Amino acid sequence: MDLTTFAQATVDGVMLGMMYILIALGLTLVYSILGIVNFAHAQFYMLGGFITWLLFAEKHLSYFLTMIIAMVVIGFFGVVVERLCFRPFRGKVLEAFIISLGLIWIFEQSVLRIMGVWEKGVPRAFLGKIDFLGMKFYTERLVVTLIGIGLIVALQFFIKYTRHGRAMRAIAQDRECAALQGVNIDLTCSLAFGVGCALAAAAGVLLGPVLYISPYMGGPPILKAFIIIILGGLGSIPGCLVGGLFLGLVDAIGSSFISLQAVEVLTFVFIFLMLLIRPRGLMGGLKAHE
């Protein structure tokens, strides 16, 4: 095992982990507040990727402006989707899950028809490599990781210290009591869904230049996000962080030393073993929607 490869794989792993976390955080936020599992969540990540391609690659806007536009646009789009499709199904896991299956087809196919089948490349946002102790790292991957960490910290701040964040935590604990205390449930649910979608869009903008943009790019990350949620526990943000970092590192390090398929199968085996011991994940709260 060679040290440089290992170090580079670790950096890649942390970056991948941050992206998985950004997607899984939205999922877990929506779950703990709306009580639904949105299987179409990664399609917002895909839409974020396409906004990057449209604005950053085609119209040559600045990268950060692209990111802000993507987060705002997709966030509002998420609010619209929540109002139209998910509002009647709050707390009804099965029904909402089926709705989100339909949304996957709608988003994927409409983007496929409008944008074309071909994968699109986005130019590098940050060029160059950084030398550290004689090992070279892509600047881009470090910056992407840092922005990811920044977004996660910002979300944590939002949930802990702002009025709407407190409202979200209140609803996650007890919907009726929160409503009795004057929390606007409809508004908070829309907001949570919008914030979740904005985070997914940010992940799309961040990963766009690193990977390719394609209508089907939502498939692999949503499964990873689900695994993270199973690992960490639905509705638990610390669990999400631990699970995401773990999975990112396993993916990156494992795939540079053994084959990717073997890593996938090993991950599943590990998860099954873990579920035998802790059915609610590492940090899943006992008081979740059932």
250 is an interface residue for another protein by CB under 8 A: no
Rank residues 117 and 127 by Cβ distance to another protein and give the closer one. 117
Closest approach of another protein to the CB of residue 264, in Å = 5
Residue choice 104, 122, 178, 195 for contact with another protein (CB under 8 A): 104
Q: How many beta carbons lie within 10 A of that of residue 116, not counting itself? A: 11
Q: Which residues contact 123 (CB under 8 A, 6 or more apart)?
A: 56, 57, 209
Measured at the alpha carbon of residue 12, what is the angle toward residues 262 and 6, in degrees to the nearest 5? Answer: 75
The token pair at 25 is 């955080």
Convert residues 37-76 into a mask of x (bound to another protein by CB under 8 A) and - (unbound): x---------------------------------------
* Only segment of 18-26, 139-147, 205-213, 221-229 that touches another protein (CB under 8 A): 221-229
* Only segment of 70-78, 138-146, 164-172, 226-234 that touches another protein (CB under 8 A): 226-234
What is the bridge-based pairing of β-strands 120-121 and 129-132? unpaired
Which residues are near another protein by CB under 8 A? 31, 36-37, 85, 88-89, 93-95, 97-99, 101-106, 108-110, 112-113, 223, 226-227, 229-230, 234, 259, 261, 264-265, 268, 271-273, 275-276, 279-281, 289-290
